[in-house]
């Protein structure tokens, strides 16, 4: 392989590594319950469910779920 092709392949591999920012979380909100806090997050593909920990705010909760999820994913938040 040429050096140029190897460099391009390396760049592509770096760009496609698993990144927790590639986890899309969709928050489903019932009418009239917009401010209701989220208590669990479900990943329907794997069947895994995460529950918010005592004292954990929503941002930390989402960050924890993202860190425990590999590959590009779509996850649903439910109250």
**pLDDT in single tens digits along all 79 residues of the chain:** 577 777 777 777 666 555 545 667 777 777 887 777 778 888 776 778 899 999 999 889 888 888 887 655 666 665 5
What are 27's two structure tokens? 């928050």
* CA dihedral of 58, 72, 48, 38, whole degrees rounded to 10: 20
| The pLDDT of residue 20 | 47
| The pLDDT of residue 53 | 94
């Amino acid at each position: 392989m040429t050096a140029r092709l190897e460099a391009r392949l390396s760049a592509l591999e770096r760009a496609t590594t698993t990144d927790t920012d590639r986890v899309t979380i969709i928050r489903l909100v019932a009418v009239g319950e917009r401010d209701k806090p989220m208590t669990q997050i479900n990943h329907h593909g794997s069947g895994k469910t995460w529950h918010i920990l005592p004292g954990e705010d929503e941002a930390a909760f989402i960050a924890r779920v993202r860190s425990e999820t590999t590959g590009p994913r779509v996850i649903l938040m439910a109250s």
